[in-house]
């Protein structure tokens, strides 16, 4: 009865009233009553994980949010609150450098070249309108723009201690990092207006997609034992040390690197995939940038197709990560008897694609069109976006049943939602064409796909007690004006969007509570009474040690 009353209240409360209830500060409701209400009211948690957009780049114009109006006036001029981008040596930049290689991805029209992008003012700019004069080009949300660095150490160098003033300096894309879109007519923007937008939500780990997907399920970085002596020879990063011999977070710059961001992209001695030995203080090696799973679908083909060999990636490849064994959220849910699944767009097609002979050209995995752009015909499945596939517990031979039960296709998600058989915890990862990643995807395709999925979930018999979290893995190298809170050596990184959709969401509200990617894990942990993953404790203790507050668990976004 209590749950039914709360449902009625959440469904009928006026949006105007709820808009006044936006939470601020850090933390969440901490009372036992809130936990009991969460456990009564929320029966299904669905996490939708898109790609590579900072908060300001998509939601900088959202009313009531801490967006671009915090640093720009109504005429689009920077205010005194704006911290201008500086060069690699810290000196002022009078203008932004060109967008190295051009603004638009290959084959995209209208095209904006590198030369046509030169001379932009040192401030955020509209991607849609900035090149109308120089290139006679008006871009929009259907435009696929070029990719940008989004790597572990580069992200920290760009954040520059919280000033966020070296995004241009340490980018490989020049001015591209300062580009912003007006998404006010998009479906996700409208969902955010209807439900709850979190405007203080940070990517859990510095850097790129690979590490943040791992962080999403374990609040940890994957280990590569003995990386320095491994036969496969994975690439190990070279990082500067301070006068005491301790690692900094600064990559060692190559002597051949241009001194100024105005002269070209930076070059480093080795921006590798593995952090140097003992970087995290435990004498181990950890993977921080993109590595491939040992199981298909993987970016690394099998050695051959003899017996079960086709199910595995070639372990001799330098980017094949050894199977992982750390405790993840799936383990905790299994132990508690809580159902869960990871649903992936084109999972079945990618699995078939990956198990072909190594000489066969892939048509699904990392397979865009001739320019590398994802299309509905060339879906560009990203193998490093599926973190459970890196774990030994999903070995395709010794754990075939577990794999079949938990790793599913998008079509299974749609069917389960319609039938009312969604697991208690569901993750959905779109394939490339529907994930919004710059370089190969536009904003519109994912916007429509995700909104359509939300509609299907709302039509599900389970909707009345469902909570949907739509968020992004990381910023994709794009600038944001908000400084991440200081915590541990893994993160958090740049601010990203997050939307909470639920009958219990505080409708029409901007939630200012401090969150990060692992707030999803905190929510799942609290709802299902799970043990706390070590990485969650490490993060919160580090935040407090740096004078901050622990991360919230998303309950502030709900009426409970």
Q: Is the pLDDT of residue 24 over 70?
A: no
Cβ distance 432 to 382 under 8 Å? yes
Per-residue confidence (pLDDT) for residue 22, from 0 to 100: 43
Please report which confidence band the pLDDT of residue 27 belongs to, taking 50, 70 and 90 as the band edges. Answer: low
552 is a domain residue: yes
Residue 203 lies in a domain: yes
Contact, 26 vs 513, CB < 8 A?
yes
- Dihedrals phi, psi of 399, to nearest 5 degrees: -130, 45
Is pLDDT of 13 > 60? no
CATH number, domain with residue 58? 3.40.720
- Give the pLDDT confidence score for residue 5 in this predicted structure: 34
CB 359 within 8 A of CB 374: no
Residue 111, in any domain of the structure: no
Q: What count of residues does the chain have?
A: 560
The whole domain housing 417 covers: 2-63+188-222+291-516+527-557
The percentage of the chain sitting over the pLDDT mark of 70, rounded to a whole number, equals 95
User: What pLDDT was estimated at residue 367?
Assistant: 98
The pLDDT score that the predictor gives to residue 31 is 77
pLDDT of residue 28: 72
Q: What is the mean pLDDT of residues 311-324?
A: 98
Tokens found for residue 137: 């080009």
Question: Residues 246-303: pLDDT tens digits?
Answer: 999 999 999 999 999 999 999 999 999 999 999 999 999 999 999 999 999 999 999 9
**Alpha-carbon span 298 to 41, nearest angstrom:** 39
> pLDDT tens digit string along 39-54?
999 999 999 999 999 9
Backbone angles phi, psi at 15, to 5 degrees: -60, -35
Distances (CA, A) of 302 to 295, 324, 367, 463: 9, 19, 17, 41
210-249 pLDDT, tens digit each = 999 999 999 999 999 999 999 999 999 999 999 999 999 9
Interval 497-537: pLDDT, tens: 999 999 999 999 999 999 999 999 999 999 999 999 999 99
Number of alpha carbons in the 13 Å side-chain half-sphere of residue 28: 25
Does 23 have pLDDT greater than 80? no
266, part of any domain: no
Token representation of residue 498: 């997050």
pLDDT at 15: 34
Separation of alpha carbons 320 and 234, rounded Å: 8
Residue 531's CB: how many other CB atoms inside 10 A?
Answer: 11
Q: Which has the closest alpha carbon to 340: 448, 246, 428?
A: 428
Residue 136 counted as domain residue: no
Residue 4 in this model has a pLDDT that exceeds 60? no
Euclidean distance between CA atoms 47 and 519, whole angstroms: 11
Residue 448 lies in a domain: yes
Mean pLDDT of 20-33: 59
Q: How far apart are CA 495 and CA 268, in angstroms?
A: 26
Exposure string for 372-392, b = 16+ CB within 10 A, e = fewer: bbbbeebbbbbbbbbbbbbbe
| DSSP letter (8 states) at residue 144 | -
Cα–Cα distance measured from residue 486 to residue 543, given in angstroms and rounded to the nearest whole number: 6
The yes-or-no verdict on residue 195 having pLDDT over 70 is yes
Instruction: Answer yes or no: is 105 within a domain.
Output: no
Please give, one letter per residue, the 3-state secondary structure of 381-436.
ECHHHCHHHHEHHHCCCCCHHHHHHHEEEHHHHHHHHHHCCCCCEEEEECCHHHCC
Q: What is the pLDDT of residue 26?
A: 53
Q: Would you say residue 84 has pLDDT above 70?
A: yes
pLDDT at residue 114 is higher than 70: yes
Q: How many domains is the chain partitioned into structurally?
A: 1
Percent share of the chain, pLDDT over 90? 94
Pairing verdict, β 239-241 and 247-251: antiparallel
Residue 494, domain member (yes or no): yes
The contacts of residue 141 (CB under 8 Å, 6+ apart) are: 181, 183, 186, 442, 443, 444, 447
Contact 465, 166 (CB under 8 A): no
pLDDT single digits (tens) 400-451: 999 999 999 999 999 999 999 999 999 999 999 999 999 999 999 999 999 9
pLDDT surpasses 60 at 341 = yes
- Strand 425-429 vs strand 340-344: parallel, antiparallel, or unpaired? parallel
Burial class (CB in 10 A: 0-12, 13-18, 19+), 469: buried
pLDDT score recorded for residue 19: 40
Rounded (5°) CA angle 79-82-85: 135
Verify cis geometry, omega within 30 degrees of 0, for the bond prior to 492.
yes
DSSP output for 40-103: HH--EEEEEEE-S--HHHHHTT-TTSSSGGGTB-TTS-B-TT----B-TTS-B-SBPPP-TT-S
pLDDT of residue 32: 78
Note the helical H segments in 268-328: none
Mean pLDDT taken over the chain = 95
Which structure tokens are listed for 237?
A: 């990063």
The more confidently predicted of residues 26 and 58 is: 58
Nearest to 552 by CA among 27, 124, 83, 58: 27
Give the number of other Cβ atoms within 10 Å of residue 191's Cβ.
21
List pLDDT tens digits, range 450-474: 999 999 999 999 999 999 999 999 9
pLDDT recorded at residue 299? 98
């Amino acid at each position: 009865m209590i749950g039914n009353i709360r449902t009625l209240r959440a469904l009928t409360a006026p949006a105007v009233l709820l808009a006044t209830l936006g939470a601020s500060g850090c933390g969440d409701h901490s009372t036992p009553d809130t936990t009991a209400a969460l456990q009564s009211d929320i029966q299904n948690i669905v996490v939708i994980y898109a790609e590579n957009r900072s908060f300001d780049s998509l939601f900088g114009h959202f009313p009531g949010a801490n967006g671009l109006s915090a640093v720009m006036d109504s005429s689009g001029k920077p205010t005194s609150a704006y911290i201008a981008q500086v060069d690699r040596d810290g000196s002022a930049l009078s203008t932004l450098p060109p967008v190295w290689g051009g603004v638009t991805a290959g084959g995209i029209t209208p095209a904006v070249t590198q030369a046509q992008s030169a001379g932009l003012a040192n401030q955020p700019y509209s991607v849609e309108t900035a090149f109308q004069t120089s290139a006679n080009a008006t871009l929009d949300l259907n435009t696929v723009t070029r990719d940008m660095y989004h790597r572990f150490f580069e992200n920290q160098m760009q954040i520059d201690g919280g000033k966020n003033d070296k995004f241009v300096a340490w980018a490989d894309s020049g001015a591209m990092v300062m580009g912003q879109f007006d998404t006010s007519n998009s479906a996700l923007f409208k969902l955010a207006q209807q439900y709850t937008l979190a405007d203080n939500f940070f990517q859990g780990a510095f850097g790129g997609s690979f590490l943040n997907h791992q962080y999403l399920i374990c609040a940890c970085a994957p280990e590569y034992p003995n990386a320095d002596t491994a036969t496969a020879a994975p690439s190990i990063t070279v990082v500067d040390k301070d006068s005491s011999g301790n690692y900094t977070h600064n990559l060692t710059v190559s002597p051949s690197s241009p001194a100024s961001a105005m002269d070209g992209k930076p070059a480093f001695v080795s921006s590798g995939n593995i952090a140097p030995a003992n970087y995290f203080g435990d004498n181990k090696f950890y993977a921080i940038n993109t590595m491939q799973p040992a199981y298909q679908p993987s970016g690394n083909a099998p050695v051959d197709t003899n017996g079960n060999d086709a199910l595995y990636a070639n372990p001799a490849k330098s980017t094949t990560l050894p199977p992982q064994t750390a405790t993840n959220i799936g383990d905790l849910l299994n132990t508690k008897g809580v159902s869960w699944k990871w649903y992936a767009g084109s999972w079945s097609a990618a699995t078939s694609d990956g198990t072909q002979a190594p000489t066969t050209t892939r048509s699904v995995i990392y397979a865009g069109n001739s320019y590398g752009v994802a299309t509905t015909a060339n879906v560009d499945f990203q193998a490093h976006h599926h973190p459970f596939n890196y774990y030994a517990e999903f070995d395709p031979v010794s754990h075939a049943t577990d794999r079949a039960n938990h790793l599913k296709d998008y079509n299974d998600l749609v069917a389960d939602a319609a039938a009312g058989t969604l697991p208690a915890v569901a993750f959905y990862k779109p394939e490339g064409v529907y994930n919004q990643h710059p370089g190969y995807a536009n904003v519109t395709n994912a916007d429509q796909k995700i909104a359509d999925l939300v509609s299907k979930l709302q039509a599900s018999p389970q909707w009345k007690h469902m909570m949907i979290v739509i968020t992004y893995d990381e910023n994709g190298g794009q600038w944001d004006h908000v400084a991440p809170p200081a915590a541990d050596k893994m993160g958090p990184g740049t601010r990203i969007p997050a939307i909470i959709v639920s009958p219990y969401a505080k409708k029409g509200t901007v939630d200012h509570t401090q969150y990060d990617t692992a707030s999803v894990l905190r929510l799942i942990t609290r709802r299902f009474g799970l043990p706390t993953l070590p990485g969650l404790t490490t993060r919160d203790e580090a935040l407090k040690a740096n004078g901050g507050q622990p991360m919230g668990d998303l309950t502030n976004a709900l009426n409970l």
